[in-house]
Structure formats: structure tokens, C-alpha cells
Amino acid sequence: MVKAAYLHIPFCEQICHYCDFNKVFLKNQPVDEYLDSMQMEMRNTLLKYPAESLETIFIGGGTPTALNEKQMEKLLKAINEEFKPLPSLHEFAVEANPGDLSYEKLKVMRDLGVNRLSFGVQTFNDGLLEKIGRTHRSADVMKSIELAKKAGFDNISIDLMYGLPGQTISDFKDSLKIGFGLDVQHYSSYSLIVEPKTVFYNLMSKGRLTLPPQEEEAIMYEYLMEVMEQHGFHQYEISNFALPGYESRHNLTYWNNDEYYGIGAGAHSYTGNIRRANAGPLKKYMQLIEDTGFPYQNEHQVTEAEKMEEELFLGLRKSAGVSKKKFDDKFGMPLSKVFGLQIKEQTEKGLLNDHQDSISLTHKGKLLGNEVFQAFLGVVPSE
């Protein structure tokens, strides 16, 4: 059963130095034609895989708010027309760049059903913002959040990064302090990962990228967990913190290993036990839609073994962990029968809590999450 829809807007006015998502410079791009192709993909997808209980819609990028007011209105009207928002829809979110938002654009979004904004703040240090390729500045964040509240938004999230080039522990603490003064409901905070095909990767290859030592990055993460709890933000996932009731339903879809639509160039979807990847280049994406009605570049039938592994390494990202009953109901066998040895080993290392009804990461396990996840890969024999 499909519970979520992700829609990808690949346009950016500036490419961030750490970003490896599918994106293109906005200037001279066929934006309206692309939005038409997206609507056709929505329509065809829903005909093939009807939505019965869609709970969330998330528009990401790229930079969705790089669209002007008319383009944003066109996109949101297409979504409303095709998805005909169901009574089950609780969350309609848009990823927002603090430098792109006018009150008029925010009103268009709010009036057409958007009820959650996720701001890509990353840091409140203007020098660091310039260093990582962001065009907005700290003052833009303040202004945009004020405008968003004026436009009627009361579910706002901000992203903050740590482990950035030249970032100190003090810098990160300052950003958190400023963030707590903004009266928002949710934070996503994650460390920099240098991905291939990014500006930072090229700089690192040339020995020109200086990152904080791993010890300092770990201190930043531990401080993050501590101070979030002090301010009433529950850590419901490794990198996500929310006031009660403001958890991201969309991201929980991924961590719960539920099915979702992926609409747009480079988007990924999971429906009917098949994971699909859409073509990334705009022209190829649009041509495939025109020729076949679908933009799929590759498809993968997920095996039962892969589903079980995904249930573990995705579910363990959540503070609630992996439910033993849900695993049994989903796969027809106890969690302990499939992963008993691995659970025992990780528990003895102090990385897992083995509760009566679930397994979850310990505090130490959150710091070494990738090591724990790796332990559950390649365990289940393939069919």
C-alpha cells in the first residue's frame, strides 16, 4: 500500500558544494514543459498504481522554491488535480531555500494545501554558508521564517549541518542556539558526507578540503542530542528531532520501509515490490514520458531477503527501532530466527538494545550506526 509521494524539482539558481542530488541550473531551462511532464507522470502512475490511503506528499529538489509564483501555482494545482488529496493526507511539505521566498509565494503554497516547510538553513555562520556554496545568509532565514508564519505555516523544520569545512564546535553550538530562538517545530541535523561528483569531492581529491577531526564531529553530534532533549525535541530518528506530534511523516515512510511514489527527473519509487529509478537528465525524462508515459530508467524486483535486510537497516534509524511483532507479521517468521546471531553480537558490543518487543540502537550505537547496519547485510540467503 502506497503511503507517500515524493516529487522532484531539479532546478537550482546555485549549486551547493556538497550536493549530489539530481539538479540543473535554473536559467534557460524548460520549466513549464517539465511541470507538464510531471503531471503526465502523476496521472499515469496513479492509473497504474491507484492511491487509497496516501498520507504525505513531499516536494524536494534541487530547489522547489526556485520556481516563481506562477510555476509554483501550476505545480501545486497539478498535484491537487491528480492526487485529489485524500482524507488520509496529513502532511504536504515543500523543501524551501531561505533566499527564495516572498510572502506571495508562501501564500500560494499555503492556499493550495502545503502545510509544512523544510528550510535548508545548514548553518547560521555567514562565512560557512559562503564556503559551502549557499547563497542565503542568516538574516534571510529570519526573514523567511517570519514570512512563513505570517502566511499561516505552523509546522516548520530547519536543516543544520555539522562537520563542515572549517566549522568549529563553537560554531555549531552557536547555530543551535540561534535556531532555538526561532520557535520552529522540527530539526534535521546531519554530518557532511563528501559524495562523488560534487565540488567538495573534487577539492578533497586535490587535498584542498580541510574537515574537522572525527573526534570533534562526534562531540558535535553528542552535544546535538543532549541540547535537543533539553529543549523538548525528541530524537525520533538518528538525525531528526521534533516536538511531540511534529515528526516528519514523509521520512517515516522510508524508515518504516513502506511503499511510495517518486515523480520527476531522477526520482525513485517503491511500488508493487519494485524499486524504480527515473531518468535524471531533463530531456531524457521528458522524452520518455512523451514516448511511453513513464520515465523509468531501471527497475529492481525486491527479493524477500532484501526486504528483511531493509526492514532492519532502515528501521534501526528510528529511536523506536524495529518492532518484533511487525517483522513477524510482515515476513511470517520471528526476527530472532532470521537475525538472532547478529542481534546477539551487536547487543554484546553495547550497540543494540534487545527489548521484549523491539530492537533499537543504544547511545553508543547511534554514534556507530553504519557499523550496526552493515552487520545485517548479506545475512539472509537470496532466493
Q: What is the pLDDT of residue 120?
A: 96
Q: Does 382 score more than 70 pLDDT?
A: no
Which of 2, 6, 1 shows the shortest CA–CA distance to 251? 6
The residue-averaged pLDDT of 84-101 equals 88
Residue of 249, 309, 294, 303 lying closest to 275 (CA atoms) = 303
**Residue 98 confidence (pLDDT) above 60:** yes
For residue 383, what pLDDT band results from cuts at 50, 70 and 90?
Answer: low
114 pLDDT more than 90: yes
In the chain, pLDDT over 90 holds for what percent of residues? 85
Check for a shared fold between 2-254 and 304-375: no
pLDDT of residue 261 exceeding 80, the answer is: yes
- Give the model's pLDDT for residue 379: 81
Backbone angles phi, psi at 316, to 5 degrees: -70, -10
CA 157/CA 63 separation, integer angstroms: 16
Q: First vs last Cα of the chain: how many Å apart?
A: 24
Of 222, 219, 236, nearest in space to 317 by CA = 236
User: What's the whole-number average pLDDT of the chain?
Assistant: 95
Nearest-5° angle of CA 318, CA 319, CA 321?
65
Average pLDDT over residues 90-111: 95
**Backbone angle region of 321, left / alpha / beta, with phi > 0 → left and psi within -120 to 50 → alpha:** left
Query: Where are the domains positioned within the chain?
Result: 2-254, 304-375
The predicted structure's pLDDT at residue 351 = 98
Which run of H or of E encompasses 156? strand 156-162
For residue 56, pLDDT beyond 70 = yes
CATH of domain 304-375: 1.10.10.920
Per-residue confidence (pLDDT) for residue 362, from 0 to 100: 97
User: What superfamily would CATH give domain 2-254?
Assistant: tm_1862 like domain (3.80.30.20)
| E strand or H helix that includes residue 312 | helix 304-315
Q: Kindly report the number of other CB atoms within 10 A of residue 146's CB atom.
A: 12
Please determine, for residue 371, whether its predicted confidence score (pLDDT) is greater than 80. yes
Mean pLDDT of 7-26: 87
